[in-house]
Every structure is written in C-alpha cells, then in structure tokens.
Amino acid sequence: MKRTSGPRKTANLSESNLQRLNMYAFAASAAGVGVLALTQAADAKVVYTPVHHVIGRNERYKVSLNHGEIGDLTFVNRYGCNQDYCQDALSAIPSAGNAVAGKLTVAYALEPGVKIGPKEPFARAGPMVRIRFPPPASQLRT
C-alpha cells in the first residue's frame, strides 16, 4: 500500500452523518469504560501446611502443594565424594508440567509478596544449596 506524503484532504460530512459518527464514538467510549469497570483486582493468598521433615543423604521427599496424591515437587539430597572433594546438594525437581523459580538451573525461594508472571525465570530443576568440602581422611590417597 502506497502512502502519500502530502496532507490529507478534509471531508465535509453532512449534519446527519456527523451526528451518527459522534453517537458511534460516544457509544464506543461508553462500552470501553463499561469493560474497564467490570474488571476486578485479583485477591489471592498463600495457604500452606507447616512440615518439618529431615531428608537424609541421597534421599528424596515428595511434596504435594494441593494435598493431592501426585507430588508436585521433589526435594532431593544428593551426596557424593571423589578424590578431590565431597559434595552435598539439595535440589528441587518439579513434576511434569510444573517449574521452580530459578536461573541457570539454580532454584531459589521467592520473597514474600513477589508478583510472578509469564516473563519470570522458571526452570525445570536446580540445586537450591550446594556445599563442597574436602573428602574424609579415609578417602584420601596415601
């Protein structure tokens, strides 16, 4: 479609067409205001059950956020050593269709009151805590 660079011509409308156009603009504006008046702010709160569960080395603990039979999230405590270091890592692994807040496969807890949306960083899994330390003396080469 080619556009002209010059000014547009002003159309002279009859009084009846001008009145119809003004009525249409008024009706469209009223409809838009009506739609805005119908929207309501979302009101939500977090409901949780406090739980204290110790996860031993190389153990898993499934959590259901809605008290269903299928776990929504699994916490895994992985422990292992090689000749250079030992590592203990607590990871959050969401079930299929879920995600955890995180970046670069590192999961983290959200601050209270944080707003989330489709552009927020979510990951499929990630360690929440990773600790490396020297291996026990019994594993060092002599």
Per residue in 21-46, pLDDT (tens digit) is: 777 777 777 776 666 666 666 777 77
pLDDT at 69 over 80: no
Taking residues 122-126, report their average pLDDT. 66
Label residue 128 by pLDDT band (50, 70, 90). Answer: confident
R_g (Cα) of the chain, nearest Å: 30
The per-residue DSSP string of 77-106 comes to EEEEE-SS-EEEEEEEEEPTT--EEEETTE
pLDDT at 142 over 60: no
Instruction: List Cα–Cα distances, 106 to 54, 122, 130, in angstroms.
Output: 21, 10, 10
